[in-house]
Amino acid sequence: MTALLALLAAVVATASGLPGLLFRRRPTLAQRLSAGALCLAAAIGFGAALPVLAGSPPSVLHHAWGQPFASLSIRLDPLSAIFLVPILAIPALGAVYGLAYWPQAQLGARAIRLQLWYGVVAGSMALVCLADNALLFLFAWEVMALGGFFLVRSDGDRTDAQKASWVYLVAAHVGTFAIFAFFAAVGSARGSFDFAAWAGLRSTGAAAGWLALLALVGFGLKAGLVPLHFWLPGAHAAAPSHVSAVMSGVLLKTGVYGLFRTAGFFEAPPASWGIVLMALGAASGVLGVALALAQHDLKRLLAYHSVENIGIITMGLGLALLGRARGAPGLVLLGFAGAALHVVNHALFKSLLFLGAGSVQHATGTRNLEKLGGLARAMPWTAGLFLVGAAAISGLPPLNGFVSEWFVALGALRALELPLLDRASFAVLVAPVLALVGALAAACFVKVQGTVFLGNPRSADAARAHESPRAMLLPMALLAAACVGIGLLPSLVVGPLSRGAAAWSGMPLAELRPDALGALDSAAWIARVALLLLALVGAVLLWRRRQRTAPDPVSETWGCGYAYPTARMAYTGSSFAQILTSGFRWVLFPRVRFAPPRGFFPSSSRFSTEPREAVLDLALLPAVRDYISATSRVRHLIAGRLHVQALLVLATLIAMLAWRLLWW
Cα–Cα dist 440/328, whole Å: 31
Average pLDDT for 321-342: 90
Let me know: does 155 contact 238? Beta carbons within 8 Å: yes
pLDDT band (50, 70, 90) for residue 477: very high
Please list, in sequence order, all residues whose beta carbon lies within 8 angstroms of the beta carbon of residue 116, skipping any fewer than 6 positions away.
Answer: 17, 18, 20, 21
Let me know: does 135 contact 73? Beta carbons within 8 Å: no
pLDDT band (50, 70, 90) for residue 131: very high
Cα–Cα dist 313/320, whole Å: 11
> What's 102's DSSP letter?
S
Please tell me the predicted confidence (pLDDT) of residue 617.
Answer: 76
CA distances from 48 to 9, 278, 640 (A): 9, 33, 64
Coil vs helix vs strand at 60: strand
Please tell me the predicted confidence (pLDDT) of residue 562.
Answer: 55
Cα–Cα dist 86/380, whole Å: 27
Higher per-residue pLDDT: 84 or 544: 84
Please tell me the predicted confidence (pLDDT) of residue 586.
Answer: 67
pLDDT in tens, 627-648: 888 878 877 777 777 777 788 8
Let me know: does 349 contact 389? Beta carbons within 8 Å: yes
Burial class (CB in 10 A: 0-12, 13-18, 19+), 73: buried
pLDDT in tens, 401-446: 999 999 999 999 888 877 766 777 778 888 999 999 999 999 899 9
Closest to 238 (Cα-Cα) out of 168, 309, 310: 168
Cα–Cα dist 279/269, whole Å: 16
67: pLDDT strictly greater than 80: no
Average pLDDT for 372-400: 92
Lowest mean pLDDT among 105-114, 130-139, 153-162: 153-162
Cα–Cα dist 344/218, whole Å: 22
pLDDT in tens, 194-206: 898 898 888 888 8
324: pLDDT strictly greater than 70: yes
Closest to 388 (Cα-Cα) out of 480, 302, 450: 480
Residue 384 CB-half CA count within 13 A:
10
Lowest mean pLDDT among 6-15, 494-503, 515-524, 614-623: 614-623
Cis peptide before 51 (omega within 30 of 0): no
Higher per-residue pLDDT: 456 or 362: 362
Q: What is the chain's mean pLDDT, rounded?
A: 87
* Alpha-carbon Rg for the chain in angstroms: 26
Please list, in sequence order, all residues whose beta carbon lies within 8 angstroms of the beta carbon of residue 385, skipping any fewer than 6 positions away.
Answer: 352, 356, 473, 476, 477, 479, 480
Identify which of 225-234, 362-371, 378-387 has the greatest average pLDDT: 378-387
CA distances from 142 to 74, 85, 187 (A): 17, 21, 19
Rounded to two decimals, the pTM is: 0.91
Average pLDDT for 53-61: 88
Please tell me the predicted confidence (pLDDT) of residue 386.
Answer: 95
pLDDT in tens, 101-129: 999 989 888 999 999 999 999 999 999 99
Cα–Cα dist 565/560, whole Å: 8
pLDDT in tens, 522-564: 888 888 888 899 889 888 888 888 877 666 666 555 555 555 6
Average pLDDT for 612-623: 78
Please tell me the predicted confidence (pLDDT) of residue 47.
Answer: 92
Cα–Cα dist 90/104, whole Å: 20
